[in-house]
Amino acid sequence: MRESRPNAIPALLLATLAAAAGALLARHLGVAGAAAAAAVPLVAAACRASAGAWLAAVPAAFAALPAREPPAPSAGLDPGPVRVQGVVQGRIRHEGVPRQTRFVVRGADGAVRVLAAGAVPVLPGDRVVVTGRLLARDGAAGAAPPLVEADPMAVRVRPGPPSAARLAEVVRARCQAALLRAVPGERGELLCLLVLGSGPPPPEAWLAAHRATGLSHLLVVSGAHVSLLALFLASLFRIVSGQRAEVSRRFRAVALAAILGYGAVAGFEPPVLRAVAALCLALLAAGRGRGVAWLQLLALPALLTALIAPQDLLGVSFCLSYAAVLGLALAEPAHPGRGWRRWLLAPLRASAWAMLLTAPFTLWTFGTLAPWTVLGTPLLGPLIALLLALGLCTCLVDIVAPILLLPLGPLLGGLVDLHVAAVEFLAAAPGAPVFALQRPPLPVLVASGVVAALLVGLWPGRRGVALAALAGIVPHFLPWPLPVPPAFQLLPVGHGQAALAAQAGGRSVAVDCGSLGDPARAAHALRDALLPRRRLDLLILTHQDLDHAGGVARLVQLVDVAEALMPAEMLDGPAGTHLRAAGTRLRGVRLGESLRAAAGIDVYRPATLLPTPNEASLWVDLDLGTVRVLVPGDAEEQGTRAFLRLWRGPRPDLLVLPHHGRENPAAGELLDRLLPRLALVSNRAGEGEPPQAAAARARGIPVLCTGDLGLLAVGAGQSPGVHLARPLPLR
């Protein structure tokens, strides 16, 4: 096989760099700065005698065009009942329990996300009319479109014209149904993720185990899946025909069709698009008898990204993909050897290099380091390849002869069980995962980047790259001085509650972590409020309802929770189980008990005649120095009166109204007894002012709601009392 011409690589690299620079400058400096970057390859082409290969950089000129700003997300819609009509766009996702249908509708007012609690037969290009309720709204630039919740019966669908997107979605749905018929239940849901990258969500415990071991990339179709598919096709062709796959025109045609078809069914997500572009380049080059250097395989997808989606150039997916591929390239030895060195040592070395180079990005973005991915990725790679091959064969068999699914189902189910057992074994090992102490300040991050560049310059090889990666890892584990956050924050999490308090000395205390319908929203809100720290000193759960404790399973994957306090019966429930597995110290509060959780933190659990989870929920009294806050759970009439009989503390400056401010006959007594300076309510957008707010205003107490203002932050001023920080928009 002939080698590629020497000047092809710099041409493609120059095109990529110019396109990336032009695209980014167009977004930040306008057309003038972008045109300057795009002119570089054109000038280089004019100054060379053999300018043919350098003209590959000409597409970079297109990157100089100003980036098209996304339309304002449904500026004409107000929270509450809405009627939306438009065209279904993007990919359709069927997920959730009970089964839900999620899709995006683009109409005259912009884009709107629709969530239907049931199956809705929609495809890309369909025209729909949706009558529902607008749950959230965020008018910030670049924010996600608003979310409309609708009953499936309230969605009217008119089929759209034929298109490639509709065909790909039909094929994906058919493949998903075939896999679920072959392997029903939770194992089938996980199989859909491993083969297709989408489907109904499997148990949260399985997802948490993948996150803890750094193997979440196996649950979405990525470049690894496309590469495994290509290797499977090549091996199958060689077994059947006895020929080398790369020299066969028939194999190249079949492989191109299979890779492009699989990418379309997987939705051409950015990692898939990059892998498909690289493999297509390699196949086309092999057809002309040319080799392709790995720099070319990296440069072409980057060029396409710069031209099609320049905003992805600095995204975490792009950075992780290229860091992993660079690690794999550095790990490749000149002489791979034979036997165990080739089949065991080489994959472990490649996995270690990939983890080392991606670690700075995972620590910055997710705050965790998963060292067991070094062992998990090469261990499960062959198993994933087998599942992918058998899963796609199952989809084909379902079309040709559905009866043949019977023997394939038990085999696929057994392989899924083996995969789950391996992941759970690694997740139970120490250091799965390792949490960063905090996110480094910007000056430290810049300094580490400069040090990394100097190290690569001094040792331009594996040693320098390894030291540069360590320079990006170490700052996440050093105790940098931290800014003082607001004393108390009530976070906007929709129908739920999540609050974060900061005591003198930097101790962080969270009260509740839940959001009905989207538990991860509360966990992510708490994580973002904690940044740059990655540690929560104390978590207090007032009761077991999902809108107050449903986000715990995700929270322990995002931050290190040192200690948790909750009603005693919750210790053996889902929240207690997740916290105990994460190594958190647990304490229970019995009915009728009052205790001091820590300095300045008193917890009350009043006894009631009807000890329902709401009535028997905790009340948390936080002394934050210059401001005192009382945070209840969902206490109703009996719980409120029982608390008033039990409480002997000083008057709070700030009161979070119990049960999201809903109707409570004892609310007047509570407000008369406490007389706070300010009342806060955790509710969702569009609900309006709750009943308890009117009782508070009648007593001269101002009321603020997260559903109206978003984040409610109370700063710790120099003098006692309430000092409101500037409200932030809805997250």
3 within a domain of the structure (yes/no):
no
Same domain, 472 and 586: no
Q: Which residues contact 390 (CB under 8 A, 6 or more apart)?
A: 408, 411, 412, 415
Sign of the Cα pseudo-torsion (599, 603, 604, 605, in order): negative
Mean pLDDT on 228-251: 70
Same domain, 713 and 586: yes
The pLDDT > 90 percentage for the chain reads 19
60 within a domain of the structure (yes/no):
yes
Sign of the Cα pseudo-torsion (130, 136, 140, 142, in order): negative
Same domain, 609 and 676: yes
**Would you say residue 142 has pLDDT above 50?**
no
For position 726, what pLDDT does the model report?
Answer: 47
138 within a domain of the structure (yes/no):
yes
Provide the residue count of the chain: 731
Domain that holds residue 90: 80-161
Between CA 415 and CA 419, with CA 417 as vertex, the angle to 5 degrees is 70
**Would you say residue 516 has pLDDT above 90?**
no
Same domain, 431 and 574: no
Query: Where does a domain end: 100, 132, 161?
Result: 161
pTM of the predicted structure, to 2 decimals = 0.76
Sign of the Cα pseudo-torsion (217, 256, 331, 457, in order): negative
Q: How far is residue 525 from each of residues 354, 489, 507, 554, measured CA to CA in Å?
A: 30, 11, 18, 11
147 within a domain of the structure (yes/no):
yes
Same domain, 562 and 706: yes
277 within a domain of the structure (yes/no):
yes
Same domain, 101 and 228: no
Which CATH number fits the domain that encloses residue 557?
Answer: 3.60.15.10
- Strand, helix or coil for residue 230: helix
Query: Where does a domain end: 121, 138, 161?
Result: 161
Tens of pLDDT, residues 95-125: 434 467 788 888 877 788 888 877 788 888 8
367 vs 360: CA distance, rounded Å: 9
Tens of pLDDT, residues 49-82: 444 444 444 444 444 444 444 444 444 556 668 8
Q: How far is residue 133 from each of residues 78, 116, 121, 137, 147, measured CA to CA in Å?
A: 10, 11, 20, 11, 8
316 within a domain of the structure (yes/no):
no
Same domain, 98 and 20: no
Mean pLDDT on 301-323: 73
268 within a domain of the structure (yes/no):
yes
Same domain, 152 and 254: no
Same domain, 100 and 235: no
> Of 199, 261, 200, 198, nearest to 229 (Cα)?
261
611 within a domain of the structure (yes/no):
yes
- With cut-offs at 50, 70 and 90, classify the pLDDT of residue 273: confident
For position 2, what pLDDT does the model report?
Answer: 41
Tens of pLDDT, residues 588-644: 999 988 898 888 899 999 988 777 888 899 999 998 877 889 999 999 999 999 999
Same domain, 527 and 598: yes
- Strand, helix or coil for residue 541: coil
For position 240, what pLDDT does the model report?
Answer: 66
Quote helix, strand, coil % in the chain, to nearest 5. Answer: 50, 20, 30
199 vs 221: CA distance, rounded Å: 12
Give me the residues paired with residue 674 across strands.
Answer: none
Same domain, 141 and 261: no
Token couple for 237: 């062709």
Give yes or no for a cis peptide into 481 (omega within 30° of 0). Answer: no
Residue with tokens 């809705």: 120
For position 503, what pLDDT does the model report?
Answer: 85
Same domain, 602 and 700: yes
What is the number of structural domains in the chain?
5
**Would you say residue 473 has pLDDT above 90?**
yes
